[in-house]
Amino acid sequence: MSERGWDDDGGYHDAVRRAERATRFGWAAIGGTLGALGCALAAAVVVCAVVVVALAYAVVAMHY
């Protein structure tokens, strides 16, 4: 028989710690991914705005 007592739940606590660690890692990965996508979206918006302003400038410059 095992040498652990009937009230020894060390295995349970180890499993809980591993699950909490995995959950923290998962949320960190989700946050990092969303942050990177947010930065990429902001950069795309800035590039589009620069293109629109440049095209508007070109159109106005052609009329003079």
Mean pLDDT by 10 residues, the chain (64 residues): 65 93 98 98 98 96 86
Q: How far apart are CA 6 and CA 36, in angstroms?
A: 49
Q: How far apart are CA 13 and CA 43, in angstroms?
A: 45
Instruction: Output the pLDDT for position 10.
Output: 80
Instruction: Output the pLDDT for position 58.
Output: 96
Which residues, at least 6 apart from 10, have a Cβ–Cβ distance to it below 8 Å?
Answer: 4
Instruction: Output the pLDDT for position 6.
Output: 66
Instruction: Output the pLDDT for position 1.
Output: 45
Instruction: Output the pLDDT for position 43.
Output: 98
Q: What is the dihedral of CA 39, 36, 34, 43, to 10 degrees?
A: 20
Please state the φ and ψ torsions of residue 8, each to the nearest 5 degrees: -80, 110
What are the domain boundaries of the chain? 1-64
Q: How far apart are CA 22 and CA 1, in angstroms?
A: 32
Instruction: Output the pLDDT for position 52.
Output: 98
